[in-house]
Structure formats: C-alpha cells, structure tokens
C-alpha cells in the first residue's frame, strides 16, 4: 500500500479536491483531508499551511493542495521547511516537478484546469520518481533556513 497523502483546498478548489480524492481511492492511495469541507469561502493560506505542516512534521511524505489557480496555496505551502510545492498545468510540468525538483506537494488550480486534465496531471505526478544525480545538488540548495 502507498504512503498516505495529505490533501487540502480552499473553497475554489473544493470540487476538484473531491475528484482528486476519488482518483486516489481508485489508485489505492490512502489520503487524509485537512479541509475545507464545502464551497463556503475560506482563506487559502490556512489550508496550504495545514498541508505543509503535515509534511514539515514528517507525518506525510507528499501532499496535494488546490485553490482557484494553485498559485496562492502553493506560495503558502512553500513557506514551510522541507516543502517543495509545484503548480502543474500539464503532464510535462507534473513530471518535471518530480524528476528535477523532487516536488513533494502538487498544487492544482480548481478554476484554471479542466478537471480531466488535472486527474491526468495527478497520475503522472504520483508515478514519477525523482531523478537525483545533478538535480539532488540543486534541490539541496533550495532551503535557506
């Protein structure tokens, strides 16, 4: 069984997050949802921080965050040590975020992505391994604290 993934979204990402969780179920990947639980307005940083805190504390190896564009929630998540959140807008960016950057958080745009494409991005991101090698040296240089 795969390691559990922590997931979170704001209201604009809620519908896509529900589809992401269903896809994780189909793939046999366990998950924990830290919110939100509806389309009622909430602040995306709060959910980005919740997901990132799970990664930072070592309780989860990977996470998925969703807001309207994926950008704001990824910025919040990236404020945490050891979190490398990447916004992916197609399969290539998802693959490269894993191969080259060892992204441990996938950020998706609930309003900016076709949901079918978002699920393809998710599958590529889950299946792709970090290449290491020259990329490992670069990833090590990301942390500043």
Task: Give pLDDT tens digits for 5-30.
Answer: 999 999 999 999 999 999 999 999 99
pLDDT (mean) for 71-95? 98
DSSP 3-state of 4: coil
Helices (H), the chain: 14-27, 44-56, 71-77, 91-99, 115-127, 134-140
In percent, the amount of the chain with pLDDT more than 70 equals: 99
Q: In this structure, what token pair is assigned to residue 92?
A: 């290539």
On the CB side of 60, CA atoms within 13 Å amount to: 23
Distance of CA 97 to the CA centre of its chain: 11
DSSP 3-state of 133: coil
Name the packing angle between helices 91-99 and 115-127 (round to 10°). 20
All domains in the chain, ordered by first residue: 5-140 (3.40.1400.10)
Q: Which residue has the tokens 């307005």?
A: 41
DSSP 69: S
2: pLDDT strictly greater than 90: no
- Banded model confidence at residue 88, pLDDT cuts 50, 70, 90: very high
Catalytic residue numbers, as ranges:
67, 100
Q: How far apart are CA 20 and CA 57, in angstroms?
A: 23
| Whether the predicted model's global pTM rises above the 0.85 cut | yes
């Amino acid at each position: 069984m795969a390691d559990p993934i922590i997931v979170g979204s704001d209201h604009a990402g809620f519908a896509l997050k529900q589809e992401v969780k269903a896809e994780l179920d189909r793939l046999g990947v366990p998950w924990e949802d830290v919110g939100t639980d509806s389309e009622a307005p909430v602040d995306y940083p709060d959910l980005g921080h919740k997901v990132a805190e799970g990664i930072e504390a070592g309780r989860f190896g990977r996470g998925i965050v969703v807001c309207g564009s994926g950008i704001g929630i990824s910025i919040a998540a990236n404020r945490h040590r050891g979190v490398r959140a990447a916004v992916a807008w197609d399969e290539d960016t998802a693959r490269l975020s894993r191969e080259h950057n060892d992204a441990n958080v996938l950020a998706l745009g609930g309003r900016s992505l076709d949901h079918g494409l978002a699920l393809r991005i998710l599958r590529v991101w889950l299946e792709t391994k970090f290449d290491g090698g020259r990329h490992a040296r670069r990833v090590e240089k990301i942390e500043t604290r």
